[in-house]
């Protein structure tokens, strides 16, 4: 966004030419070069002990749950995997690609389904998740990024959920355009009934199904399909914020930290092509390679085929190639 004379336009950092979303759609996930961190000492870190204790207990119980697996019904483990995939899609296809980035459109029945499985993932309600996530892209790796990866692996992984937010996260976050989320009745309904929806979808349903249908003990199914599965989906998601901001190539933009991390791609249902994703946040596939290793893209394509989704946005091959040549690290062959 350099003007003719080389001055940076700070009025409005509008989406680059590459963005295929129209002006009317949300574009507040585009990196804002006009924001600068405040000078002077950083505010002190304030621990939230309640979160530290609960997160520690959750992880201890998840380790304990591993010991129960050999003595449970095989179907219970398969059910836990299904719950992992469903709650994962509630994050990737729902909170992330639909609600944070508006990279495709979804009909009411699909939005309801995505909101229900989003509650199964228990990662804050969709509104809060998408607000924090737009801030993460717009102010990436600064004080206003909720999980600023320059504060280290642990902070961007889980530490940010255990301390008070940096004041700039809230100050800049309040200025984000969230009008599309406020106008979405499904998002606001899920926000209003978030606690009961989590109780039902994240804990009760995963525990009761194995008990009712194949006589598993409630104790076992609670530990495996609720506690262990929830802990795994949290860590799979958090690895995008930690590992995929530290380890991997940068074929699209060598000037930013997010990277292409193939281990994360696998665990996170296609969400580890993170250098690509920060470069082209509007792309519904979060990857140059479409369906390849991308379970979430396959799911969205299936929804389009069923008539439940439409308007999938993609970056064109030409634009991707031009961008690789201009700012890539050379790890992809371009010539």
Binding residues for ligand ST9 (CB under 6 A): 48, 51, 88, 91-92, 96, 122-124, 129, 131-133, 135, 146, 161, 164-165, 169-170, 173-174, 233-234, 236-237, 240-241, 268-269, 271
Distance of closest approach, residue 137 Cβ to Zn ion, in angstroms: 6
Count the site residues for Zn ion by CB under 5 A.
1
The distance from CA 119 to its chain's CA centroid, rounded to whole angstroms, is 14
Binding pattern to Zn ion, positions 244-263, x when CB under 5 A? Answer: --------------x-----
| Dist CA 226 CA 68 (whole Å) | 13
Distance of closest approach, residue 76 Cβ to Zn ion, in angstroms: 33
From the list ligand ST9, Zn ion, none, which binds 108 (C-beta under 5 to 8 Å, kind-based)? none
Query: Under a CB-based contact definition with an 8 Å cutoff, are residues 157 and 268 in contact?
Result: no
- Nearest residue to ligand ST9 on Cβ basis: 173
Distance of closest approach, residue 173 Cβ to ligand ST9, in angstroms: 2
Residue 171: CB partners within 8 Å, gap ≥ 6? Answer: 144
Distance of closest approach, residue 127 Cβ to ligand ST9, in angstroms: 9
The distance from CA 23 to its chain's CA centroid, rounded to whole angstroms, is 23
Pick the closest to residue 118 from 190, 203, 182, 178 (CA basis): 190
Beta strands in the chain (DSSP E): 105-106, 309-310
From the list Zn ion, ligand ST9, none, which binds 161 (C-beta under 5 to 8 Å, kind-based)? ligand ST9
From the list ligand ST9, Zn ion, none, which binds 270 (C-beta under 5 to 8 Å, kind-based)? none
Residue with smaller CB distance to ligand ST9, 211 or 266: 266
| Dist CA 138 CA 33 (whole Å) | 9
| Dist CA 101 CA 14 (whole Å) | 15
Distance of closest approach, residue 96 Cβ to Zn ion, in angstroms: 6
Residue with smaller CB distance to ligand ST9, 158 or 220: 158
Residue 181: CB partners within 8 Å, gap ≥ 6? Answer: 99, 126, 127, 130, 131, 187, 188
Instruction: Name the site residues for Zn ion (rule: CB under 5 A).
Output: 258
């Amino acid at each position: 966004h350099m003007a003719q004379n080389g001055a940076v336009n700070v009025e409005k950092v509008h989406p680059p030419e590459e963005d295929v979303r129209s002006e009317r759609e949300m574009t507040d996930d585009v990196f804002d070069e006009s924001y600068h961190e405040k000078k002077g000492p950083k505010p002190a870190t304030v621990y939230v002990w309640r979160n530290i204790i609960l997160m520690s207990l959750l992880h201890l119980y998840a380790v304990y749950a591993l010991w129960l697996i050999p003595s449970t019904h095989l179907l219970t483990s398969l059910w836990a995997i299904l719950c992992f995939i469903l709650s994962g899609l509630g994050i990737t296809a729902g909170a992330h690609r639909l609600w944070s980035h508006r990279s495709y459109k979804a009909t009411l029945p699909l939005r309801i389904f995505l909101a229900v499985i989003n509650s199964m993932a228990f990662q804050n309600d969709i509104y809060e998740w998408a607000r924090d996530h737009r801030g993460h892209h717009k102010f990436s790796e600064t004080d206003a990024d909720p999980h600023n990866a320059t504060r280290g692996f642990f902070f961007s992984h889980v530490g940010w959920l255990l301390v008070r937010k940096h004041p700039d996260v809230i100050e800049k976050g309040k200025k984000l355009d969230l009008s599309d989320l406020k106008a979405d009745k499904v998002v606001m309904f899920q926000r209003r009934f978030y606690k009961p929806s989590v109780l039902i979808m994240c804990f009760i349903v995963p525990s009761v199904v194995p008990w009712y249908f194949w006589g598993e003990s409630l104790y076992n199914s609670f530990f495996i399909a609720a506690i262990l599965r929830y802990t795994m989906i949290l860590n799979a998601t958090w690895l995008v914020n930690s590992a995929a901001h530290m380890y991997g190539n940068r074929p699209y933009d060598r000037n930013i930290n997010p990277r292409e991390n193939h281990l994360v791609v696998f665990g996170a249902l296609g969400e580890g092509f993170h250098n690509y994703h920060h470069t082209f946040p509007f792309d519904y596939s979060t990857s140059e390679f479409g369906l390849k290793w991308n379970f979430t893209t396959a799911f969205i394509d299936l929804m389009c085929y069923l008539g439940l989704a439409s308007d999938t946005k993609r970056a064109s091959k030409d634009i991707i190639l031009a961008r690789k040549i201009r700012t890539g690290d050379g790890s992809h062959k371009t010539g």
